[in-house]
Amino acid sequence: MSGRLMPCSPKEIGTLFLFEKLEPEQLGRLCREGRVELHDPGPVYTEGEPATCFYVMLDGTVVLSRRVAGDDVETNRTSQRGVYAGAMQAYLGDRVRQVYRNSMRVTEPTRFFVLPADTFADIMGEWFPMAVHLLEGLFFGSKNTQATVGQRERLLALGSLSAGLTHELNNPAAAAVRATSTLRERVAKMRHKLAVITEGPFSREELAALIEVQERTAERVAKAPSLSPLEATDREDALTDWLDEHGVDNGWQVAPIFVQAGLDVDWLEEVAAAVGEEILPGAIGWLNYTIETELLMNEIEDATSRISHLVDAAKQYSQLDRAPYRVVDVHELLDSTLLMLSAKIGPRIDVVKEYDRTLPPITAYPAELNQVWTNLIDNAVAAIGSAGGEGTLTVRTAPVHEQILVEFRDTGPGVAPEIRDRIFDPFFTTKPVGEGTGLGLDISWRIIVNKHHGSIRVTSVPGDTRFQVLLPLAAETPEEAE
């Protein structure tokens, strides 16, 4: 918004701290190519608009703000003469998108010395070539440093996650190997038992009845009920007594397997009626192998399903096969991150999920949100660990106006008040040397605020520390983090 033009005095602008070392000829050029504007209370420029002017305040009051989750959050308010804002990176030219990085408004009639962005860039290049080179190096060097350190932070997280994932995969993989080896033995014994049965004096009808009982028994295994330890023990005793009474050797060894398969005395009575007393012991042995093979195949299926689930969670976490910016369910992202970090969290920390499943999906960068969740969970685990290692991590989601709240609450010792305002600063860490880069929360802040137009804040008292992330429900065109 343009203000009313006012006379430009080289002598006056020469009193501003930015220009006090300039020669009279240089001050004259500034007044010729720039201008003085008087702005009434209201907006001067808005964040995200093309940055066309560089403003230096002569007198008045300015307020700077940033847009966070649809709200303008005030970042600075000052009446200090000579403060500047606007197209401060015009000297970088087209190498950087030239937009206003904040919004500026005035609360009283305020005069500015205004330079067009192109003029500001030309003057900087002519008068201060060495300074421009230094500023360019500082700007792009800082960008490269942030990218490199951010990549390093991600690699550290992935290394930790890889170790955890390897640990998680090892258990079901070992279970599948053991079950497969045992299954091979049981199948070999089934073949031997089948040979014994077929060589015996059994009629075709008896063999057909045995096969029919085998099929029905296999079906029972798939529908086996879940019994309490006391119920299982009572049923084992009853089955052992029945098997002993019917001349089946080693009934005490067979009974637990039959109970696991959901069989009871009534079922054994049906088996005895179907095959007859003569072949009952052989039939029980045959059914025992049948049940064992079914249970082993269930175990293999469970183990391989667990492996598949872990691999899916790893893909969900890394988003390797997904679009970088897409519609996501935050609960899926949280679950995959918690699963990836389960080994690091350990058994001494209780994880409580308080999800509001009615929350709608949002449009976001899921891989980067997972990085934020990782940083916040890692900090919570470290905090609980510093207080003895036992505690509770609560992950909560809820609607807040037009935003989604994702909260991580831990029962650690809390964040001391004197450092609470510094925890999001780059390179600030309370961890011992070599255990933290001090960039986890800084990167998280950039991802949430700059890329998702959200906000992140912390509240803390001993035993109750809460990191709260607010993400807008309405999709906005994301911007690269500064």
Query: Residue 144 — φ and ψ, nearest 5°?
Result: -65, -40
Q: Return the structure tokens found at 68.
A: 């966070």
Contacts of range 13-21, beta carbons closer than 8 Å, 24 or more positions apart: 13/56, 13/58, 13/113, 16/56, 16/58, 16/81, 16/82, 16/113, 17/82, 18/56, 18/82, 18/84
Q: Kindly report which listed range (30-44, 110-124, 298-312, 426-440) carries the lowest average pLDDT score.
A: 426-440
Residue 83, C-beta contacts closer than 8 angstroms, at least 6 positions apart: 56, 57, 62
Beta strands 391-400 and 349-354: pairing type? parallel
Q: Kindly report which listed range (103-112, 206-215, 363-372, 408-417) carries the lowest average pLDDT score.
A: 206-215
Q: pLDDT-based confidence at 432, cuts 50/70/90? A: very low
Q: pLDDT-based confidence at 428, cuts 50/70/90? A: very low
Q: Return the structure tokens found at 333.
A: 């992202």
Q: pLDDT-based confidence at 146, cuts 50/70/90? A: low
Confidence check: pLDDT of 480 > 50: no
Domain 322-472 fold: Heat Shock Protein 90 (3.30.565)
Average pLDDT taken over every residue of the chain? 77
- The number of helices, as runs of H, and strands, as runs of E, in the chain is 13, 16
pLDDT tens for each residue of 366-421: 888 888 898 899 889 988 988 777 899 999 999 998 899 999 999 988 887 776 66
What's the rounded Cα separation, in Å, for the pair 18 and 432? Answer: 42
Confidence (pLDDT) at 481: 40
Decide: helix, strand or coil at residue 396: strand
Superfamily of domain 4-127: Jelly Rolls (2.60.120.10)
Mean pLDDT across 117-138: 68
pLDDT tens for each residue of 37-52: 899 999 888 888 888 8
pLDDT tens for each residue of 295-330: 778 778 777 777 776 676 666 665 554 557 888 899
Domain ranges of the chain: 4-127, 161-309, 322-472
Confidence (pLDDT) at 394: 95
What's the rounded Cα separation, in Å, for the pair 120 and 449? Answer: 29
Confidence (pLDDT) at 155: 56
Dihedral Cα 205, 207, 208, 213, nearest 10 deg? 130
pLDDT tens for each residue of 220-265: 777 777 778 888 888 888 888 888 888 887 778 888 888 887 888 8
Kindly list the distances between the CA atom of residue 103 and the CA atoms of 58, 71, 72, 88, in Å, as whole numbers in the listed order.
18, 12, 8, 13
| Identical fold between 4-127 and 322-472 | no
Residue 73, C-beta contacts closer than 8 angstroms, at least 6 positions apart: 65, 66, 67, 455
